Structure 1
Amino acid sequence: MPKIRAATVAEHRAMQRRAILDAAREILAEGGGAETPSLAAVAQRTGLARPSVYSYFKSRDDLLDALIIDTFPKWSAYVTEQMDKATHPGERALAYVDANLHLVARGEHAIVSALAATGRGELLEETSKTLHDQLRTPLVETLAERGTRDPEAMAELIQAIVYAVTRMVEDGTPEADARRLARELLEPYFRS
């Protein structure tokens, strides 16, 4: 019988599930194609027997679906948390940009891109739309509070800048340089 590493069986199972998800994220972040992460590779990474992984996830697709559901809310929560730290609407909008670029630099966008390559289209598309809506809402509200004439359109423009700078980060631009470039472009607008 496996040794329980928590106060309760439920806590132990939650810890094991978290370890499996984290191992799958690491494998995706390292690359390796759309076939990864296999349940065997995840089992090896976590130190669990392969049948043990199957007691948490019925298949690789089940694991990938859980990973999609696990990844996106964390992104949204982080960005919202960073925006909430700022007091002025312009600072909140810049915090939105900085937070997204930080997550990209940390490898989160690479994980999302790898998940997209796994063919989990329908769930990924639905979850991605939810994430973008969750991110867009506080940005639009912030821009409206600032007095932006068309906050929806301005949010689209800011998001386009985030996408462009995301590509730069993924091509090797250091996070600090990327954030500086985005701020150099946006700060004059928020000061006006």
Structure 2
Amino acid sequence: MPKISAPTVVEHRKRKRDALLAAATELLVSGGVSAVTPAAVGAAVGLSRPSVYQYFKSAADILAAITEDSFARSNAQLLAALEGLSDPLKVMDAYVRETLRQAAAGAHRPATALSEAELPDECRARVAELHHEQIAPFMSALRQLNVPDLMITAQLLGGMLEAAMRAIESGSDPDAVARTTIALVHAAVRPQE
């Protein structure tokens, strides 16, 4: 019987699964979807391929777990950053700051790798659903501000936010990018005179 590296078997299995998921995420970010195989993920943490199947049924199952895990962590951090805010401009400011903080920390790299991959339709649909949940506070703030052409404005601001994330990932100062992005968001949602 293999030794467990935790106080309980349940905790041991959770730690192993978390380690497999972390390794799979790194493989995804560095090598794309094709790099995420049960054999490669197992090798990254010192487990055999058959052992990986105790935690995940297939490579697709691993990718699904990465999707759920990365969005769940990101969304929880966003909600914490927005907690207690009701003013729509303050919500948008906090949303932008937290999104860009996560970009600086590399938290969006798994989602970017997944969005660029050829995924099964059900996986693409789940990524879209999770992204919709993620942008819900931003959309709600835009609605509260009663911006004209809501969907067009949202798409344009989303594009600006993506450009800001790319700027940070390319080495730009996160604080400067956040200040500029927030100023541009304010200019875009200010009532027209």
Is the pair's TM-score, using the shorter chain for normalization, greater than 0.5?
A: yes
* TM-score for both structures, normalised by structure 2: 0.82
- How many Å apart are 1:92 and its aligned residue? 0.9
Name the CA distance, whole Å, in 2 between partners of 1:15 and 1:60. Answer: 19
One-letter amino acid of the structure 2 residue matched with residue 46 of structure 1: V
More divergent stretch after superposition (64-73 vs 33-42) = 33-42
Name the CA distance, whole Å, in 2 between partners of 1:54 and 1:14. Answer: 14
Matching residue of 1:10: 10
Name the CA distance, whole Å, in 2 between partners of 1:67 and 1:135. Answer: 16
Name the CA distance, whole Å, in 2 between partners of 1:74 and 1:185. Answer: 27
Matching residue of 1:102: 101
Alpha-carbon deviations, 1:135-168, whole Å to 9, x = none?
A: 3322232233445456555433322221221232
- How many Å apart are 1:190 and its aligned residue? 6.6
Name the CA distance, whole Å, in 1 between partners of 2:152 and 2:79. Answer: 20
RMSD over equivalenced CA pairs, Å: 2.6
Contact 2:25 2:66 in 1 (8 A): yes
* TM-score for both structures, normalised by structure 1: 0.82
- How many Å apart are 1:99 and its aligned residue? 1.6
Specify every segment of 5 or more residues in structure 1 that has no aligned partner in the other structure, as ranges.
Answer: none
Name the CA distance, whole Å, in 1 between partners of 2:32 and 2:150. Answer: 39
Specify every segment of 5 or more residues in structure 2 that has no aligned partner in the other structure, as ranges.
Answer: none
**Shift in CA distance, 85/23, structure 1 to aligned 2, threshold 3 Å:** farther
Query: How many residue pairs get matched?
Result: 191
Matching residue of 1:177: 176
Q: Secondary structure at the match of 2:124?
A: helix
One-letter amino acid of the structure 2 residue matched with residue 13 of structure 1: R
One-letter amino acid of the structure 1 residue matched with residue 81 of structure 2: Q
- How many Å apart are 1:189 and its aligned residue? 5.7
Alpha-carbon deviations, 1:1-28, whole Å to 9, x = none?
A: 1112233322221221111101111222
Give the percent of matched residue pairs that are identical in Structure 1 and Structure 2. Answer: 33
Name the CA distance, whole Å, in 2 between partners of 1:147 and 1:115. Answer: 33
Q: Secondary structure at the match of 1:55?
A: coil
